[in-house]
Amino acid sequence: MPQIFSKKANLIPAVSLVAGLFASVFILLLIWYYFSPEFTDVGYAPEQPVQYSHRLHAGQLGMDCQYCHTSVQSAAHSNIPATETCMNCHAQIKRESLLLVPVRESWATGKSIEWIKVHHLPDYAQFSHAVHVNNGVGCETCHGRIDQMEIVAQAEPLSMGWCLECHRQPELFLRPDDAVTKMGYVQPADFVKRNLERIRLEGIQPPENCSACHY
């Protein structure tokens, strides 16, 4: 009886298996990158109800982060400034600006401005601004050059792996307390040595165990 398939047909299962393995690896790599915070979250910049420019306020005018975000040294969460904070200046400055109509309406009615949150963490992760700020982690480290942003965008992935880079080697990221809110801060040549001494003296031990950040 003549053969229906040639001997080359014996290669089909092997070729199919190898092709399937390569396809699986390729799909996993695609998911690993395109479903990661580096791709899905970095660059997120929602349109806000008020066209507030950090480039103008924090950059050109040099306003300190803590003028508006007053709770970063004492609370887990950074507060959104109340309308009163805006009106401290704008009751006298640019009083007729059309861009500030939502601010003036909020001030007149007592209804809060519905700002859109930019930096999100999963519900199962906990993060304290106070702990980080009081131990020398700069605003710029996590939020990027806010002073250069017209519209605030997420600059870092805020992923677990990204956080652990700092927790494992904090001496590479800490800065003096008086420079925590400084944008464009340049570390001195001996900053690692200084940070290692600070870590020793203050007993700074960033946790790496799961329960430190997860409920």
Q: What is the pLDDT of residues 118-160, one digit of tens each?
A: 999 988 999 999 999 999 999 999 999 999 999 999 999 999 9
Please give the pLDDT value at position 21: 81
Q: Alpha-carbon distance 157 to 201, whole Å?
A: 31
Mean pLDDT computed over every residue of the chain: 91
B/e letters for 25-42, b = 16+ CB within 10 Å, e = fewer, are eeeeeeeeeeeebbeebb
Most confident range (mean pLDDT) of 1-5, 30-34, 103-107 is 103-107
Q: Which of 147, 168, 144, 173 shows the shortest CA–CA distance to 158?
A: 144
Q: Model's pTM, two decimal places?
A: 0.81
Please give the pLDDT value at position 107: 96
215-209-75 Cα angle (round to 5): 55
